[in-house]
Amino acid sequence: MTDQSSPPLPLSGIRVVDLTRILSGPFCSMLLGDLGADVIKIESPGGDPVRQQGHKVNGLSWYFAVFNRNKKSVELNLRNPEGVAVLERLLADADILTENFRPGVLDKMGLTEARLREINPDLIVVSVNGYGSTGPYVDRPAFDFIAQAMSGFMATNGTPATGPLRTAPPITDLVAGLYAALGAVAALRGRDAGCGAQRVESSMMMSMLSMMAYLSSNALATRRDPVPTGNDHPIASPYGLFRAADGDIAVAPSTEIIVRRFLGELGLDHLLSDPRFETNEMRLRHREVLNHLINEALASDTQDNWIARLNQAGVPSGRVQSMTEALADPQVAAQQMVLQVPHEGRGTVAMTGFPIKLSETPLQVRHPTPELGADSKAVLRTAGLSEAEIDRLIETGVLGTGEDAPS
Amino acid sequence: MTDQSSPPLPLSGIRVVDLTRILSGPFCSMLLGDLGADVIKIESPGGDPVRQQGHKVNGLSWYFAVFNRNKKSVELNLRNPEGVAVLERLLADADILTENFRPGVLDKMGLTEARLREINPDLIVVSVNGYGSTGPYVDRPAFDFIAQAMSGFMATNGTPATGPLRTAPPITDLVAGLYAALGAVAALRGRDAGCGAQRVESSMMMSMLSMMAYLSSNALATRRDPVPTGNDHPIASPYGLFRAADGDIAVAPSTEIIVRRFLGELGLDHLLSDPRFETNEMRLRHREVLNHLINEALASDTQDNWIARLNQAGVPSGRVQSMTEALADPQVAAQQMVLQVPHEGRGTVAMTGFPIKLSETPLQVRHPTPELGADSKAVLRTAGLSEAEIDRLIETGVLGTGEDAPS
């Protein structure tokens, strides 16, 4: 679990000073840490608010634990100029600064672009925010629900009956964090290749807008809005949720050939010579009758058997799994997507694993999520501060070691 | 619009041979192209099926156009051994191979891991697939709808009334493509740093599972499933869609302080000393009454005015925008998130822009989406094939130049 015993990872040796909190930024810095960077999470006194969110086991939020693995924690008061001076010392040796303040907050802290260049001309500054750092909404506070609403996403999620529907996962935070991580690693590679250091930015609203795929390209081409269609595919039939003997299965035949295989597997080949179902267009018109006939045929066997048979025949099919079912899925186990991470004093924490698989340098949890301020002293020592300086910063409340933090 | 006149980008000089089609893989290779790589899209005779999907203008699918910008197109028959031989010549000079076949297809083509290492020991192979390349579902065909269902996402999307609901954007394709791009650039950087070349993989189901945030961490911690809550926040009130004089606004007060500011701005401060609304817990219990009182107060002014006032007061708020409204948003314009790209013979194509902002090497459309096979000859010439060899490959139908392709 230490850097010393681990093989080199793609970002080994890269130092990230991480001012982010809550979600979009911490996801970005988690990805950098997962890829091998040394991430120093700077937390305000009291710590990242997410330490207090989500379900806790032995006093530790498992929500916080997954997004802050592979990081160290320094508890530092940046409202105190001495705290900012410590931050500047850390930045002098860093490769990347990550932050997800509202645009302008870093400037107010004295860390203007010019000042940062002075401290470290090779520093890559990565910002994640709500709407971008220019434009009419630059000063607006950001929140996932609002970015879902403004990006056009919510209006396409749902059914005509529900109207615009928020999705449960904080998807705009996460997509923005993922884009920021990609931008950060690209900027690192660019710096190696002679592009110099640069500022990298992503925003929640624009990141989500970029994920609208054919919904946005069709809207641009036709100037018409898509209609929310729920589980029905707007232009394909059969498609959707169907009913096996013991529960629903999702089926998505993607081409005419696969539709034939699907109906063939069900013993319904004859339907394709029925004028009502001969073409996709006709099937869309008679979707209800067709779905009824399919459900009748599916009633003869179980979910698991149909799913096995259909996939065998090349027809994409699967269960609608609840969260706990998905986490217990044998494929999820085979892909090591639930990790058991021992945390000193907190027991073993279960968390989702690494969706990026690297053959030679597989990702791993090198550090479990740090206790607040656990690395304050060690990090400052490495930055060259003396024990006396460190003690004074602790006494004056600039540096915290988490010992009096709530848990 | 040419490589020569452009400033260097982070991935300038990186060559990607791209066997991907449809969406997850092409999104990955688009991101690499956007970041500066030279992407050679190898298309089967007839081309990527997405060329025929989505709304077309002047015969060009705008859906295809956005996901295939910054690429060149070579039309090559890989079912013919001579086609594979040409591919091998291209791979000898490449940095990255991207593919999103079902696991095992590359092997069947003769491009086993050993053979690829023989051709080019420095080649980074990037695979995007449905479920990963090991485990019980490895042979299943993949499709976004099924990955949404199996990852646990669908079960959390929707309301208790709708039940599990698919979301409209092909989110699992896109998230898997984004992770693959991050893995690819990290592997490049790792190769520069001495990790050697390696295989990079992401899958649609595991990528989506990793985006479930507190829904998965709470489920792991409690062994209980989340209940879909639609637009209501499971544990915060007030929160959601409210009604101004001329339409809905989304409001998401994230902390108790912001709740106070929200009610204050509405002239409803007094509610916070009403025992029904004093704490978040009490407000959750009396959510309906509270929402009614808020809607009454909001009826006095317009969406735009309330959104401006609330954001000014630090309360995250915005419109629920339709797709066309989002694309026409002034912030989207300020962030250059709708690009107008001239395509020879196809008019000007509008497409979403770059959510990754780089200060020194801003991303750009260096090549509009290629016509099928438009670069077949040029790419093979660069790879060292003679005119006679190229002509013979065209005559024997191994190489296409798109001239007889449907449009």
* pLDDT tens column, B334-352: 999 999 999 999 999 999 9
Q: What is the DSSP letter of B370?
A: P
CA gap A194, A181 in Å, rounded: 20
Q: What is the pLDDT of residue B405?
A: 45
Closest residue of chain B to A219, computed from CA coordinates = B324
Is A190 close to B361, i.e. CB distance below 8 A?
yes
> Where residue B271 falls among pLDDT bands split at 50, 70, 90?
very high
- The crossing angle, in degrees rounded to 10, of helices A24-34 and A171-192 is 50
- The per-residue pLDDT for range B127-171, each reduced to its tens digit, is 999 999 999 999 999 999 999 999 999 999 999 999 999 999 999
Q: What is the pLDDT of residue A171?
A: 98
Question: With 60 as the cut, is the pLDDT of residue A341 above it?
Answer: yes
Query: Within chain A, which residue ranges are assigned CATH 3.40.50.10540?
Result: 15-212+339-400
Closest residue of chain A to B212, computed from CA coordinates = A169
> Where residue A1 falls among pLDDT bands split at 50, 70, 90?
very low
Nearest to B324 among A159, A206, A223 (CB): A223
Is B8 close to A327, i.e. CB distance below 8 A?
no
- For residue A247, CA distances in Å to A230, A321, B153, B356 come to 19, 11, 18, 43
Cα angle A280-A154-A49, degrees, rounded to a multiple of 5: 140
- For residue A399, CA distances in Å to A86, A192, A275, B148, B273 come to 9, 34, 77, 45, 38
> Where residue A9 falls among pLDDT bands split at 50, 70, 90?
very high
Q: What is the DSSP string of B141-185?
A: ---HHHHHHHTSHHHHSS-TTT-S---SS-HHHHHHHHHHHHHHH
> Where residue A407 falls among pLDDT bands split at 50, 70, 90?
very low
| Residue A167, min C-alpha distance to chain B (Å) | 5
| Sheet strands side by side (includes B247-251) | B240-244, B247-251, B317-318
Is B185 close to A180, i.e. CB distance below 8 A?
no
| Residue A398, min C-alpha distance to chain B (Å) | 25
Strand, helix or coil for residue A150 = helix
Partner B contacted by A28 (CB < 8 A): no
Could you give the residue numbers annotated as active site of A? 233
> Where residue B6 falls among pLDDT bands split at 50, 70, 90?
low
CA gap A332, A28 in Å, rounded: 23
- The per-residue pLDDT for range B169-218, each reduced to its tens digit, is 999 999 999 999 999 999 999 999 999 999 999 999 999 999 999 999 99
- Non-local (6+) Cβ contacts of A106 within 8 A are A99, A112, A127
Is A335 close to B203, i.e. CB distance below 8 A?
yes
Q: What is the DSSP string of B258-299?
A: HHHHHHHHTT-GGGGGSTTTSSHHHHHHTHHHHHHHHHHHHT
> Where residue B268 falls among pLDDT bands split at 50, 70, 90?
very high
ipTM: 0.97
Where b means 16+ CB within 10 Å and e means fewer, A33-50 reads bbbbbbbbbbbbbebbeb
Strand, helix or coil for residue A319 = coil
Q: What is the pLDDT of residue B234?
A: 81
Q: What is the pLDDT of residue A229?
A: 86
Q: What is the DSSP string of A30-84?
A: HHHHHTT-EEEEEE-TT--GGGGSS-EETTEEHHHHHHTTTEEEEEE-TTSHHHH
Q: Which of A332, A366, A369 is nearest to A352 (CA)?
A: A332
Partner B contacted by A227 (CB < 8 A): no
Closest residue of chain B to A138, computed from CA coordinates = B331
In B290-406, the DSSP E strands lie at 317-318, 338-343, 347-352, 357-358, 399-400
Closest residue of chain B to A323, computed from CA coordinates = B152
Nearest to B324 among A169, A193, A219 (CB): A219
| Residue B390, min C-alpha distance to chain A (Å) | 33
CA gap A91, B144 in Å, rounded: 42
List CB contacts (< 8 A) between A330 and chain B: 135-136
| Residue A280, min C-alpha distance to chain B (Å) | 14
In A306-373, the DSSP E strands lie at 317-318, 338-343, 347-352, 357-358
- The per-residue pLDDT for range B81-104, each reduced to its tens digit, is 999 999 999 999 999 999 999 999
Is A165 close to B153, i.e. CB distance below 8 A?
no
- The per-residue pLDDT for range B59-88, each reduced to its tens digit, is 999 999 999 999 999 999 999 999 999 999
Q: What is the pLDDT of residue A232?
A: 85
> Where residue B254 falls among pLDDT bands split at 50, 70, 90?
confident
> Would you say B339 and A238 are in contact if contact means Cβ atoms under 8 Å apart?
no
Question: With 50 as the cut, is the pLDDT of residue A406 above it?
Answer: no
Q: What is the pLDDT of residue B406?
A: 44
Partner A contacted by B137 (CB < 8 A): yes
Question: With 70 as the cut, is the pLDDT of residue A74 above it?
Answer: yes
- Return the number of other C-beta atoms located less than 10 Å from residue A291's C-beta: 19
Question: With 80 as the cut, is the pLDDT of residue A161 above it?
Answer: yes
Mutate to test the interface with A, among B324, B336, B340, B349 (most CBs of A within 10 A): B324
> Where residue A402 falls among pLDDT bands split at 50, 70, 90?
confident
- Non-local (6+) Cβ contacts of A124 within 8 A are A95, A96, A97, A184, A187, A188, A191, A197, A198, A199, A200
- The per-residue pLDDT for range A79-128, each reduced to its tens digit, is 999 999 999 999 999 999 999 999 999 999 999 999 999 999 999 999 99
Q: What is the pLDDT of residue A3?
A: 47
Residue whose tokens read 């890829």: A35
Q: What is the DSSP letter of A405?
A: S
Question: With 50 as the cut, is the pLDDT of residue B277 above it?
Answer: yes
Identify residue A318 by its one-letter amino acid code: G
Which residues of B, range 240-299, sit inside 8 Å of A by Cβ?
240-241, 250, 252, 254
| Residue B88, min C-alpha distance to chain A (Å) | 22
Partner A contacted by B60 (CB < 8 A): no
3-state secondary structure B30-85: HHHHHCCCEEEEEECCCCCHHHHCCCEECCEEHHHHHHCCCEEEEEECCCCHHHHH
Q: Residue A268: left if φ>0, alpha if ψ -120 to 50, beta else—which one?
A: alpha
Partner A contacted by B141 (CB < 8 A): yes
Q: What is the mean pLDDT of residues B5-13?
A: 84
Task: Please state whether beta strands A317-318 and A338-343 pair in parallel, antiparallel, or not at all (unpaired).
Answer: unpaired
Q: What is the DSSP string of A356-390?
A: SEESSS----SSPPPPTTTTHHHHHHHTT--HHHH
Number of residue pairs across A and B with CB atoms under 8 Å?
494
Task: Please state whether beta strands B71-76 and B399-400 pair in parallel, antiparallel, or not at all (unpaired).
Answer: antiparallel
- Compute the mean pLDDT over every residue in chain A, rounded to the nearest whole number: 95
CA gap A137, B392 in Å, rounded: 58
Q: What is the pLDDT of residue A48?
A: 97
Q: What is the mean pLDDT of residues B13-42?
A: 98
Span A240-325: which CATH code? 3.30.1540.10
Question: In the structure encoding, which two tokens stand for residue A244, read together?
Answer: 């096996």
Strand, helix or coil for residue A87 = helix
C-alpha atoms less than 13 angstroms from C-alpha of B299 in its C-beta half-sphere: 7
Question: With 90 as the cut, is the pLDDT of residue A404 above it?
Answer: no
Query: Within chain B, which residue ranges are assigned CATH 3.30.1540.10?
Result: 240-325
Q: What is the pLDDT of residue B252?
A: 95
Q: What is the DSSP letter of B19?
A: -
Q: What is the mean pLDDT of residues A7-26?
A: 96
Question: With 60 as the cut, is the pLDDT of residue A227 above it?
Answer: yes
| Sign of the torsion angle spanned by Cα atoms B67, B69, B70, B76 | positive
List CB contacts (< 8 A) between B217 and chain A: 54-55, 61-63, 65-66, 351-352
Which residues of B, range 203-222, sit inside 8 Å of A by Cβ?
203, 205-207, 209-222
> Where residue A233 falls among pLDDT bands split at 50, 70, 90?
confident
Closest residue of chain A to B320, computed from CA coordinates = A149
- Superfamily of segment(s) A15-212+339-400: Crotonobetainyl-coa:carnitine coa-transferase; domain 1 (3.40.50.10540)
List CB contacts (< 8 A) between A137 and chain B: 311, 331
> Where residue A405 falls among pLDDT bands split at 50, 70, 90?
very low
Where b means 16+ CB within 10 Å and e means fewer, A119-132 reads bbeebbbbbbbbbb
